[in-house]
Amino acid sequence: MTYPGMKQHQKDLLMEYGPRLKDIDESYIKDLYYPILDQVYGIMEDKVAPYVKKWDEEGAKFVNGKVQFPQGVLEAYNALVRDKSGLRLFEAFLPEEYDGVGLPPLMAGVIMETIASYDLSLQVTIGLSTTLIEAIGLYPTPELTGKYFPMLQEGAAGYVGFTEPDAGSNLKNLKATSTLDGDDYVVKGTKIWISNAGYADLGLVLARNIVDGKDEGMNAFIIENSMPNADGNGGPGVVCSRLEEKIGLHSSSTGVLEFNVRVPKENVIGQVGKGYQRILERLMGMRMGVAFQSIALADRAYELAKAYGEERHQFNKPIASFPGVANKLTGMEKELMRMRRLGFEASYVLSRSQQKLTVNPNYLKVDADGQAMLDSFPLYSAAVVAFTVSRAKMYNSEVGWIITDDALQIFGGNGLAKEYNVERLLRDFRVLRIYEGTSEIQEGILDRTKAAAKAKDLDSLMALAEQTGRPEPEFKPLDYNKIFFTRFPKSVDAFKDENNEDFYLYKN
């Protein structure tokens, strides 16, 4: 099938949400943003679409301590972010005051969706650098912006080093340490499941702040792979020790990084000892990105399944005309629109928070003349952003997984063959329910933030947002039985005995 260009729903939602942001109007979207997106589509058509199946089959490899990508992957990466006469995509995400375009998250989301719809592996490789831009932009200093924004503008690849063997969802259990030694911090520890491991130039790393042998919070650093070994022996300070073999994202490197590195104290982001609070809780861009990645893969799976359903004939008519397939396709289309709306809502809220604007009209304060005071919030409530972004990430990854799985189901046995591409989408999709916070973690975030996100005044909003304690959730086993019969309602009676009871349950 042919890959489409910019889709109508993208244009419609951009025109709906974009003008509600500061300094964004219809001409900005059409004259500045559309050309950028057109360039992205052109590169993906020419340099990615013909090769993505081959890249998936070959995968990234770890040879003599270095990552080797399939031929063509780095050419596509360079065309998107490093071509001085071409796109240089990272410039679009840099703030305007640092020679960038300053695209808000609302528009970044559509670019993420576009790249991921062709190859999620490539989008992951590119997307992590935008996380570094976001992190530095939250707490800019002359040292950080002066050195690393130019590097990123030139296309430097990034990574995020948070996860450790004993610290996955609970990052407060980190073991990596940072200790001030003169003008440098010595950072030691092991980070796992690091995307772009062995390839990236620099990363955002979280480590405990050790002062006089005591734990004094956490520090967030920008660490270059070229920084010196803490032992002073001339060796590298950051080493990739291995790559993981994964079920999906084959042409994206994911591995283990070992740190024994000296890092200038100027490379701390935000306040010393406050890395967790100041950085991790505000890095919503990564989570928002997963919502758009989910849209991209589910939408592509739907397109493939719809085309196959119309082409494949059984009993002398297309299988798309049979109720079992037709109902799936109709449901997919409906849910994709809901997913898009949730994604745009999340990127819109995140955009307004970065612009220091309030989101909900209920939050506006009014001056004596009845004019809205948009700067009445010194900082936008983290609870509102967390709630909206987590909701989009959780729903889109869970429902998108069902859509992609049902798309494969429509292909029948052919769906298992690499020839038809849908199996790659399913393999790649599986991680979206896990990384950047599992669905179970997102559910907990929604539980903590929903009241604060819906508060009607500033005082109650801030009070609720700062609450940390909450009761333990009630233990309630997941009812897989209910899930099954929700999907197959006509089969309920087939699982009942003569007394209209479930015959397959164990009886005491």
pTM reported for the whole predicted model: 0.87
Nearest to 204 by CA among 215, 195, 217: 195
Under the banding of pLDDT at 50, 70 and 90, the label for residue 365 is very low
In which residue ranges of the chain is CATH 1.10.540.10 found? 8-158
The residue among 453 and 130 whose pLDDT is bigger is 130
Return the CATH class of domain 8-158: mainly alpha
Asked whether the beta carbons of 364 and 372 are under 8 A apart, the reply is yes
Nearest to 291 by CA among 389, 426, 177, 435: 389
The residue among 371 and 186 whose pLDDT is bigger is 186
User: Dihedrals φ, ψ of 262, to 5°?
Assistant: -95, 125
Under the banding of pLDDT at 50, 70 and 90, the label for residue 471 is very low
Under the banding of pLDDT at 50, 70 and 90, the label for residue 321 is very high
Lowest pLDDT segment from 90-104, 210-224, 418-432: 90-104
Interatomic CA distance for residues 343 and 365, integer angstroms: 27
SS3 call for 211: strand
pLDDT reported for residue 495:
67
pLDDT above 90 for 293? yes
pLDDT above 70 for 358? no
SS3 call for 62: strand
pLDDT reported for residue 497:
62
**Beta strands at 214-224 and 61-63: parallel, antiparallel or unpaired:** unpaired
In which residue ranges of the chain is CATH 2.40.110.10 found? 160-274
- Give the residues across from 161 on adjacent strands: 205
pLDDT tens for residues 203-223? 999 999 999 999 999 999 999
pLDDT reported for residue 505:
47
CATH fold of 160-274: Butyryl-CoA Dehydrogenase, subunit A; domain 2 (2.40.110)
pLDDT reported for residue 316:
93
pLDDT reported for residue 474:
57
Q: Around Cβ 82, how many Cβ atoms within 10 Å?
A: 18
pLDDT reported for residue 446:
83
pLDDT tens for residues 2-47? 335 678 888 899 998 898 888 888 999 999 899 899 999 999 999 9
pLDDT reported for residue 455:
55
Mean pLDDT (whole number) for 155-167: 93
In which residue ranges of the chain is CATH 1.20.140.10 found? 283-465
Most confidently modeled range among 2-11, 18-27, 400-409, 474-483: 400-409
**To the nearest whole number, what is the mean pLDDT of the chain?**
85
Under the banding of pLDDT at 50, 70 and 90, the label for residue 458 is very low
pLDDT reported for residue 282:
65
pLDDT above 80 for 234? yes
pLDDT reported for residue 84:
78
Q: Rounded to a whole number, what is the largest CA-CA distance in the chain?
A: 80
Mean pLDDT (whole number) for 303-331: 94
Percent of the chain with pLDDT strictly greater than 90: 60
The residue among 348 and 377 whose pLDDT is bigger is 348
pLDDT above 60 for 399? yes
Asked whether the beta carbons of 161 and 206 are under 8 A apart, the reply is yes
Mean pLDDT (whole number) for 457-462: 45
Interatomic CA distance for residues 286 and 30, integer angstroms: 26
pLDDT tens for residues 106-118? 999 999 999 999 9
Return the CATH class of domain 283-465: mainly alpha
Interatomic CA distance for residues 248 and 254, integer angstroms: 11
Residues 60-64: contacts with CB under 8 Å, at least 24 apart: 60/243, 60/250, 60/251, 60/252, 60/253, 61/243, 62/198, 62/240, 62/242, 62/243, 62/253, 62/255
